[in-house]
Structure 1
Amino acid sequence: MKSKRIAALVTTGVLTLTTALGLYSWWNTNLFGDDSFCNGKLTPSDLASALDTQGRISSVSSSGTTGLPEFRCTVERTSKFLGAEPMKVDVHTAVYAPDFAFQTRTWKSPATLSYLSGNVTGAVSADRGWVMLPTSCRDKAGFLGLGRRRLPAEHEVTVVEARLERGTAEPSKLADLLVKAAARVTESAGCSLGAGDTRPTLQGPGEEKQLDTASACGMQGFAVPADALIDGEVTPGAERVSGTASASWTCDLRFSGSAEAEVSFSTTSDPSIVNDVLRRTPGWKDLPQGQGEIDGYSRAILKCSGKDVYFGMRQDDTYTSVLLDEGKGRWTAVSQAMFQSFLDAAGKQYGCPAVKVPRS
C-alpha cells in the first residue's frame, strides 16, 4: 500500500509539474502559437524583435483578408511571473497626402523621429512610425475603413504605420518591422517596395538645444520674427533638428511660456513625397516665372538646381489660437514673415530661386 501511495504521489507530482511547465510555456513563450499575424503581413520573429521583451505574442484584433494588401491588426506581448512589462502595437495600412508627416496634427513634433534613408521613405521613433509605399502601388493598395476596402484618392498615397499603445521599441527594430510589413503589402498588391536587400539606415534626431531666434534650426539667416513672440505666452524656448538636407529634414521650435506652443519646419527632395500626387492636393498656386508652387504659409515646392524641393511649415493649434487671439492681422503677418524667413534661409542651401511669399 505504501508503494502505491508513493507511486500515486509521484504521478500526481509529475502531472502537476507537467501542467505547470505547460502553462508557463503558454504564458511566456510562443510554443504552439500562431505562425503569422496581421493576415500574413508579420511573422512571430518580426514581432518578437520589435516587441523586445519576454512573453507570449498573441493577436488582439485583426481585420482584412489574406491575399489582399490592406490590413489592420493589434498584437500584444505579455508574460506571467517574469516581471516583463506588457507591450501592445497597432499596425495597419492608411492613406494620406504625401506630406502628411509634416502637416498633420496626429504626427506632431516631426523632428523627434528618425528618418529612413536609402530606397525606403519613412520615419520612426520609440513608439510610432510609418513607411510609404511607392507611387507605383498607389492605385493597388489602400486601407480598411468601416469594414470596406478603400484605395487612395488621386492626391493620396498609401503607408504602413505602427503605434505602440503600451511600451516602447528600439527605433531601428520598429523600422525593420514596418519595412517587412510594407514589403509584404506590396507583394500582395503586385508591386514592389524597392528596398532590395539593403537595410534602411536611420538619421536620428539631434539633441534639443536652446532656440537662437536669429539663426533658428541652426540655419544662418533664419530669424524668428519679433511679432511671433508674446510676453508670458510665447517666449524663446528650444529647438530640435532631425534628418538630413539630402533627404528629409525637419526642425521643431518649442516655445517657452504658458501657451507651450510649437512650430515645425520641413524640407525634402524625396520623389516619393515631392511629385504630381502632392501637387494634386488642394491649395497650390503657381509662382511667377516658373519658380514653383506655393500653398499659403504652409507649403512650397521650388525648382532648385534641377530638382524639386518641398518646404513646409506647420503651426500647432495652440500657437495658431494664441496668434488669432491677438487678431487675424497678427496671425497673417507673423505666418507670412516666418515662412518667408524659412524659405529664404533654407532655399539657399538647395540653390533655390528667391521667391516672395504672397500675402493672402
Structure 2
Amino acid sequence: MNDMPNHMPEKTGTGEAAGPKRPGRLRRLARGRGGTAVVGVLVGALLGTGVMAWRANELPFVERDVCWGSLSSEVAGALFNDTDVRSRELPLRRATVDPMHTECSIQGFGSDELESEVTASVRTLGALKGAPAWDWTRQYLSSRMTPLGGGITGMASSQRAWVALPTSCEEKHYEPGEKPPLRVVSLAADGSDPDYVNEVDARRGLDAMSRAVVRLANGVMARYGCESRYPDPPKLPGPPEGKSVRAVDNDKLCGLPGVRLPRWARGKDASAVRTTPGTRPDEVPGGIRSCDVGRPYGMDRIRLTTVAEPRLARVVARGLGQRADRLGGDGEGAHAAGLSLYTADCRGGRATFVAWEKDPDEEQGDAPAGRRSLGLALLPSYVKAEAGRIGCGEVRVEGAERLSGGRS
C-alpha cells in the first residue's frame, strides 16, 4: 500500500487552531516540578499499552491537529463537554488502494478516564451493498439529519455528520461514461441517535458536528492533493431534538398531496411526524428528504426517504440483495421484510425512493391479510408524488399490491 505524502494540509482562514480554555489535568501536571520526568514515565506506560498513538517528533499532551491533521484542538474539543481530547488514527490510505475505509478515534477524557468517543471515517460508499449499504442509509439519512447547505452534499445531527468528497477529487482516470465511486467523510458519536436530547445540547452538538465534519473533509482533500475546499457551514436550522413534532395529516402524509395513510394504520402508533429540518415538500436542499412517522417520542412506524443526489441514490438502491421480491413499473424496485426501494431516471439523474418499517406487521403476524406492509401500501403514491416534484415525470410502481397480498 502507498501511504499519502507526509506533508501537512494547507491552513485556511477557517482552520486555525485555538487553545483550550483550560489545560487538561495531565498537561497541568507536566508544568509542575518534576513534571518532565513524570510525563516521561506516563508516555512510556501509555505507548507500551497502546492507549494512544503520537505522531513522530511530537510530544504527548501538546496541542496538535488530530485526524490526519484536519481538526484543530478547538474544533475537536467542541465535540465534547470540557474534557481532555486525545486521538488515535489509522493511516489515510488512497481509496484506489484501500476502497473501504479508514478511521480516527477522537476520545474525550475527564479525570483521565474515557468519557465519550467520536469516530471519524473516510469511506468509499460505492463499495457497499446489501446490509452494509442499508445500515449506512438508516443511520445517516434519518429525519434527524440536517442538510449542510452552501453547495455541500452532506448532513449533520447532534450525533452524526457526513460530507461527500467532490467528484473532481479523484485519484485515477475514469473512462467517459464511467461513474467514480462516492466517497464520504463522516463523524459518529458513540451509540446511536437517542430518542430525546434537550434542545440546548442538540443545538451545541449540531453546530460542533457540522463544523468538524467540513473541516475533516477539507483536511482529507488536502492530504489527497485535491484543489477543492469547502467553506464552513452556515448556521443550520434548529435540530428536531427537544422540539415537539407535528401531528400527522392522514390525507397528506409528510406534506405530500395524494399520499394517504391507510385507515388500518391510523392511530397512536402513527400520530406524529418529523421531516428533515430546513426542507419542504417543494424545496429539498441537497436532494435528500426523510419523513419519520410514529409516536411523539418513538418515530419508528414508517420512514419515507427521497434521495435525488444521483451518486448517493445508487448506493441507497443497493440496500436489498438479489433475494428480494422485485417491483416493476416505470422504474425498478424491490421489497423484503420491512424495506421497499424504488429507483427511477429523472431529469437530474437517478433517484431512489425508500419506504422502511422498523417493525413490520408481517413479522408480528397480527395484521389483517393484505394489510401487513405499510411500506408497500404507501410506496406507489409516495413515488408518484415525489417523482413529480423532483422532475422525474409520472412514475408508476407495479407489483406492490401483489406483494402485499391484496388491496390496502
Q: TM-score scaled to structure 1, two decimals?
A: 0.68
Instruction: Give the structure 2 partner of residue 122 of structure 1.
Output: 154
Instruction: Give the structure 2 partner of residue 44 of structure 1.
Output: 73
Instruction: Give the structure 2 partner of residue 55 of structure 1.
Output: 83
Deviations 1:228-274 (A, max 9, x none): 45x8xx733211011423332111112589x9842111223334424
Pairing of 1:1-360 with structure 2 (within 5 A): 19=32, 32-51=61-80, 53-59=81-87, 61-64=88-91, 71-80=102-111, 86-96=115-125, 103-104=134-135, 106-107=138-139, 110-137=142-169, 157-165=182-190, 169-192=204-227, 194-197=228-231, 199=233, 202-204=236-238, 207=243, 208-228=245-265, 235-242=269-276, 243-244=278-279, 245-246=283-284, 247=286, 248-255=288-295, 261-274=300-313, 292-296=331-335, 298-304=340-346, 306-308=347-349, 310-319=351-360, 321-322=362-363, 326=367, 329-331=370-372, 334-359=374-399
Contact 1:39 1:66 in 2 (8 A): no
AA aligned to 2:32 is T
CA apart distance, 1:93: 1.7
Q: TM-score scaled to structure 2, two decimals?
A: 0.61
Compared CA separation, residues 279 and 210, structure 1 to 2 (3 A): closer
Instruction: Give the structure 2 partner of residue 144 of structure 1.
Output: none
Query: Share of identical aligned residues, percent?
Result: 20
Compared CA separation, residues 260 and 175, structure 1 to 2 (3 A): closer
**Mind listing any 5+ residue stretches in structure 2 that lack a counterpart?**
1-28, 40-58, 173-178, 192-200, 404-408
Compared CA separation, residues 204 and 322, structure 1 to 2 (3 A): farther
**Mind listing any 5+ residue stretches in structure 1 that lack a counterpart?**
1-15, 141-153
Contact 2:361 2:367 in 1 (8 A): no
Compared CA separation, residues 92 and 350, structure 1 to 2 (3 A): closer
Specify the SS of the correspondent of 1:187: helix
Structure possessing the higher radius of gyration over alpha carbons: 1
Instruction: Give the structure 1 partner of residue 20 of structure 2.
Output: none
Length, aligned pairs only: 314
AA aligned to 1:58 is R
AA aligned to 1:336 is L
| Aligned equivalents of 1:94, 1:324: Cα separation in 2 | 38
Structure with a larger share of its residues in strand: 1
CA apart distance, 1:112: 1.3
| Aligned equivalents of 1:136, 1:327: Cα separation in 2 | 52
Deviations 1:274-294 (A, max 9, x none): 46x777786798976xx5544
| Aligned equivalents of 2:141, 2:224: Cα separation in 1 | 32
